[in-house]
Structure 1
Amino acid sequence: MEKEQAPRWWAVVAVMIGIFLLVTAEQLPIGLLSQVASSMDVTPGVAGLMVTVPGVVAAFSAPLLPVAVGRMDRRVMLTLLMGVMVIGSVLSALASSFIFLLAARVLVGISIGGYWAVAGSIAPRLVPGDQVAKAMTVIFGGVAAASVLGVPLGTLLGDLSNWRVAFGALGGFSLLTALALWCWLPPLPPREPVRLKVLAQQFSNRGVRVAVLATGFVVVGHFAAYTFISPILQDISGVAQRHVGSLLLLYGAAGIIGNIAAGMFAARHPYRAVLAIPSLLLVVVAVFPFFGVQPSSGVLMLMMWGAVFGSVSVSIQTWILRTAPNTEAATALMAFVFNLSIGLGAMVGGRVVDVTSLPVTMWAASALFLLGALLVWRTPPNIVGMKHR
């Protein structure tokens, strides 16, 4: 903290809600893919660009935007980024063409990357030192909550009304969050200019390198398949489109359980936790086209999928805390990798699904999970905790 003062937990909550809304916005098209594709008269593969565009933009804005704004007060920066999110969401809801929609999604990507990169670094300035870990858990809990709750709830809203209403609602909530950030955050001038070279230096640490590559394999593989979960449930499992939103809530509930379980397990065994994630995803996604061919079995496998992927953030973050010499720089690097992987996964999956089929896309994703599992398996377990190896 900058001065001795009471913890600003309302500010921490406001920052967390911002992350929750931004990550929800990034991934919301996954649940609304069939609706948007039909409305805009594009293929599901092309519609997947709604995830690719903000993911790629967010990946590059994460390291570059803090550099570009220099010494701008971080309170002002976070509030402005939520304002950009409002504009991007409203324009998405009003889009008259798919090209216009993608242009609006660029604004969403800028908000996501810049906000995510700054949010983690301000926790020590809002609470005393002995409460920083808790504040970080709350702030980045918004990432997991968006994946397991925000997207399903947004999808359900879209199913009950239409996809434009879901995007418009995001804009409304983002406006309220911008006001909360302005009112609850204290002035936060940057302590030192952000340097890109610090990010590059993280690759000299073996533990960070493994975490980055494993995250890339897992997230690209996941979104190559999960971006098309709506057509997967409809075409493979025989689920009616009107039920997809409700089923994604079950996916979200399973993800919360997985997140809690992984948090407890990873605290004691981070290596095993990170190794288990791609291994289990490999099995679940690879066999889905064979065993998820009925609504009941498809829902069961969807929940298993959600439980495993819901454990990614907490497990990888625990690994980073045990290995990275500079956890703040490593977190910004992971924001770059995670968001770029979301965009690449959706793009790769879109290409494969348009050229081949949904099952082939799921098997291609499984191949990436296999690479991730092999990478972690070939890494010595004692690397976790060796910060300067």
Structure 2
Amino acid sequence: MVSQAPVQNTGPDSAHTTPWQWFAVVVLALSTFVVVTSEMLPVGVLTPMADGLDISPGTAGFSLSITGLVTAVTAPAVPRFLGGLDRRLVLAVSMLVLALGNVLTVLASGFGMLVVSRIVLGLGMGAVWGLAAAVATRIVAPRNIGLAVSATVSGVAAASVVGVPLGTVISNAWGWRSAFGILSAVAVVLAAGLVLTLPRLPRPETPVGADGQAAVQQSLLRIPAVVVGLVLIVFIVTSHFAAYTYVRPVLEDRTGLAPGGIALVLLVYGLFGLIGNFATGAIAMKRSRSTILGLTTGIGASIALLALFSTVPILTGISVALWGLTYGGLSVGCQIWMTHAAPSRVEQVTGLYVGVFTAAIALGAFLGGTVVEAASITTLLWSAVALAAVALLVGILGPGPTSPEKPKPEAEAATATATAEPRP
């Protein structure tokens, strides 16, 4: 019989998380924020970026698909090929690769160079996003794992809900290239921060069987809750990004907002998204399935409201706020769903989850551009609503993960096993 190893902690005191360890979690969260903001920034600067590169908005939107596809391949592959490499150094180098991708975007003069820059960016993004949440579980006490994951993944949610609006403001003030240049500089600073704050992080320990030998683990795709979660993610993330990639043209053409008004609406989206992110973490730790179903319903409803009332500014604001509230919690909720479905294989299931999530981003951006070019934005919005409805059905009909029992306080220190070397 195979024993299921608990998620492991690397702190010097297994019963408590130190302030320095929490600071390391903050650096991880900022890193995920920067990588996903780098990916999603074209959403907020789509029109000026297209004009600057002399391409159509639909073609500029396809740049998200390029990054998403590269990340989808990179994230699941990284845990397989890292071996015993120090995860701390891998994260730092990956942030430097991301910085290079943003520099190439700044220098792009046409679609060809933009493609190259987005490929490089996808390589760095896949490694950082794929490892960050798994690393977070290893640097805090067991009782704080849920909060650490929520905080780390909050960078992903904040990228869409704060990073894109902030990038839009910077673009309006100094041009779209300056926004990517700032992201590049911040990525370099965070690379240094990761080296300084994280402990050495070798390969996680492998669960062992009763005979003391390393256990042979079944494929993650043979775990029903993992498969259901991944299918649900494909549909709801595709739905969201098919619509969200073209939210600026909706606000420009149908709502009639000026650039300042668009930035304000996206800021509202961001503020409600942050509320949704931190509210979701605690709830999903106890009820991940019902949490995801609620978020999926909210995303579909908000896009439907936008399709119906996008010509009415106040109703547009309400629908965008609901959209931010529900999507803001999706990354955290889905991450917790996956770790509950495979608690002893957090690094591997996180890489798989990120790969599927980013592939869905690519698919959503591609479908959005295709529908906009072939039909209309209205058709795009209702297509996104239909995809959200399918996601909801998958979540209702399929098996969900079983939330792990909360460890007893007196047992926490005994169950945690330190696997990282102390910092010099």
* TM-score when normalising by structure 2: 0.84
Paired residue secondary structure (1:13): helix
With over 3 angstroms needed to count, the CA separation of the structure-2 counterparts of 1:94 and 1:386, relative to structure 1, is: closer
With over 3 angstroms needed to count, the CA separation of the structure-2 counterparts of 1:63 and 1:379, relative to structure 1, is: closer
Counterpart of 1:285 in structure 2 is 303
With over 3 angstroms needed to count, the CA separation of the structure-2 counterparts of 1:240 and 1:263, relative to structure 1, is: same
1:86: how far off? Answer: 1.2
1:268: how far off? Answer: 4.5
Counterpart of 1:354 in structure 2 is 373
Counterpart of 1:379 in structure 2 is 398
Counterpart of 2:332 in structure 1 is 314
Counterpart of 1:45 in structure 2 is 58
Match of 1:132 among 135, 145, 150: 145
1:384: how far off? Answer: 3.7
Given that 1:217 and 1:368 are in contact with CA atoms closer than 8 Å, whether structure 2 keeps it comes out as yes
**Does 2:226 correspond to 1:218?**
no
Paired residue secondary structure (2:219): helix
Given that 1:149 and 1:253 are in contact with CA atoms closer than 8 Å, whether structure 2 keeps it comes out as yes
Counterpart of 2:409 in structure 1 is none
1:325: how far off? Answer: 4.8
Alignment of 1:30-69 (within 5 A): 30-69=43-82
Q: What's the C-alpha RMSD, in Å, of the aligned pairs? A: 2.2
Match of 1:143 among 156, 165, 173: 156
1:199: how far off? Answer: 9.6
With over 3 angstroms needed to count, the CA separation of the structure-2 counterparts of 1:106 and 1:278, relative to structure 1, is: same
With over 3 angstroms needed to count, the CA separation of the structure-2 counterparts of 1:225 and 1:262, relative to structure 1, is: same
Name the stretch that deviates more: 67-76 or 52-61: 67-76
Paired residue secondary structure (1:187): coil
1:53: how far off? Answer: 0.9
Q: Distance in 1 between matches of 2:392 and 2:195?
A: 43
Given that 1:236 and 1:293 are in contact with CA atoms closer than 8 Å, whether structure 2 keeps it comes out as yes
Structure 2, unaligned stretches of length 5 or more? 1-8, 207-215, 405-424
Q: Distance in 2 between matches of 1:2 and 1:307?
A: 33
1:224: how far off? Answer: 0.5
Q: Distance in 1 between matches of 2:69 and 2:363?
A: 7
State how many pairs are aligned: 381
Q: Distance in 2 between matches of 1:151 and 1:10?
A: 24
Counterpart of 1:189 in structure 2 is 202
1:99: how far off? Answer: 1.3
1:13-50 Cα offsets, whole Å, 9 max, x none, are: 22221111001111111111111112112111111122
Match of 1:73 among 71, 75, 86: 86
Q: Distance in 2 between matches of 1:272 and 1:182?
A: 38
Match of 2:264 among 213, 233, 246: 246
* TM-score when normalising by structure 1: 0.91
Identity of aligned residues (%): 35
1:191: how far off? Answer: 4.1
Given that 1:81 and 1:115 are in contact with CA atoms closer than 8 Å, whether structure 2 keeps it comes out as yes
Counterpart of 1:83 in structure 2 is 96
1:124: how far off? Answer: 4.3
Amino acid at match of 1:220: T
Given that 2:54 and 2:110 are in contact with CA atoms closer than 8 Å, whether structure 1 keeps it comes out as no
Q: Distance in 1 between matches of 2:316 and 2:217?
A: 41
Q: Which has the larger radius of gyration?
A: 2
Structure 1, unaligned stretches of length 5 or more? none
1:355: how far off? Answer: 0.7
**Does 2:245 correspond to 1:237?**
no
Counterpart of 2:178 in structure 1 is 165
Counterpart of 1:176 in structure 2 is 189
Q: Distance in 2 between matches of 1:98 and 1:311?
A: 33
Counterpart of 2:410 in structure 1 is none
